[in-house]
Structures are given as C-alpha cells and as structure tokens.
Amino acid sequence: MFSASCHYGLQAMFYIALHSSTEKNVELSEIATSQDIPKHFLSKILQLLVREKLLYSMKGPTGGFRLSKSPDKITLIEIVDAIDGLDIFYQCGIGFKTCDDEDPCPIHADYKIIRERVQNLFETKTLEALKEEVQNGGSIISFTQI
C-alpha cells in the first residue's frame, strides 16, 4: 500500500521516538543498522522529514536526529503524508484512474472500507502509542537497544 520510502520513514521515526530525547539525538548509522535500511536511502528520507518539520537534524559530535515535537503529538498519517502524500487513501485498489463512487471498479466498495479503516488507524495512532506498545511488551517488534 505504501512505498518503500514510506515504510522506512515510519520505521525510522518509530526508532527515533524510542531512542531520542531532548538531550539525545540518534545517529543515521544507528538507525540504518538497526533497521537494515541502506544508509544513503535513509538519509534522503530523514532529510525529507526534516524539511516537513517532523524531525530536527544536528551536526557535530552529538549530532543526529530527534523528533521535532513530543511523540504523542506525531501521528502516523503525518509521516505518510510527508513521504507519500495522502492520495493512497483515495486511489482505486486495482489502479483504475476513473474508479469512484459513481463509476466503481469491481472491488471499489470493499476496498473503500479497508482504505478508510487504515486511514483512521494512521490518523489516530501516535508514535507514543507505538512506543508504549513495545515498552509494555504488547508488540512482537523489539529493538536491541531499547
């Protein structure tokens, strides 16, 4: 549903939410290694998130990345919007350009329900909610450096 860039951006933002603070930044290499994301590709994604004001980027010995606001204020939809845009939530499930409520494709009604549920999930889930899920042991995802 989302591009590889978007998946990597979501993973990186989640990692940064878990490992950064107002006093501590997370280095690009650490994120790339822990998530098995090509460093050069990740660098471009993170710079896009900096331009979209979701991240801060600092240079120097204590440099790296950190969230621009509290993780409870960043929803997953903001990350998706910054990288892929929101068109995915309005496009046809099988790629027809003229599919809509007036002229639906064969899966339009079913796919519309799924799209709306995914959009609602991404609009309501914050990075903080994901952090809590991992920290409380309710998630199968874990990072080695929590």
What's the start-to-end Cα distance of the chain, in Å?
Answer: 29
pLDDT computed for residue 138 by the predictor: 73
Write b or e for each residue in 8-27: b if 16 or more Cβ atoms lie within 10 A of its Cβ, otherwise e.
bbbbbbbbbbbbbeeeebbe
CA separation, residue 94 to residues 54, 83, 104 (Å): 32, 22, 11
Residue 61 lies inside a defined structural domain of this protein: yes
Distance of alpha carbon 123 from alpha carbon 117, whole angstroms: 10
pLDDT computed for residue 133 by the predictor: 87
Residue 60 lies inside a defined structural domain of this protein: yes
Q: Given pLDDT bands bounded at 50, 70 and 90, which one contains residue 141? A: low
Residue 145 lies inside a defined structural domain of this protein: no
Q: Given pLDDT bands bounded at 50, 70 and 90, which one contains residue 140? A: low
pLDDT tens digit string along 39-74? 999 999 999 999 999 999 999 888 899 999 999 999
Full residue range of the structural domain in which residue 50 is found: 4-135
Residue 23 lies inside a defined structural domain of this protein: yes
* Angle formed at CA 131 by CA 81 and CA 13, multiple of 5 degrees: 35
For residue 143, pLDDT over 90 is answered with: no
Place of tokens 């027809």: 96
What domain count does the chain have?
1
Strand-pair partners of 75: 126
pLDDT computed for residue 145 by the predictor: 44
Closest CA to 2 of 131, 66, 11, 127: 11
Spatial CB neighbours of 140, under 8 Å, sequence gap ≥ 6: none
Residue 110 lies inside a defined structural domain of this protein: yes
Distance of alpha carbon 6 from alpha carbon 2, whole angstroms: 6
Residue 140 lies inside a defined structural domain of this protein: no
Residue 143 lies inside a defined structural domain of this protein: no
Distance of alpha carbon 126 from alpha carbon 121, whole angstroms: 10
Place of tokens 């998946």: 7
Residue 45 lies inside a defined structural domain of this protein: yes
Between 20 and 116, where is the model more confident? 116
pLDDT computed for residue 144 by the predictor: 47
Query: Worst-scoring range by mean pLDDT, 1-15, 85-99, 128-142?
Result: 128-142
pLDDT computed for residue 136 by the predictor: 82
pLDDT computed for residue 23 by the predictor: 84
pLDDT tens digit string along 72-122? 999 999 999 999 999 999 999 999 999 999 999 999 999 999 999 999 999
- CATH number at 127 reads 1.10.10.10
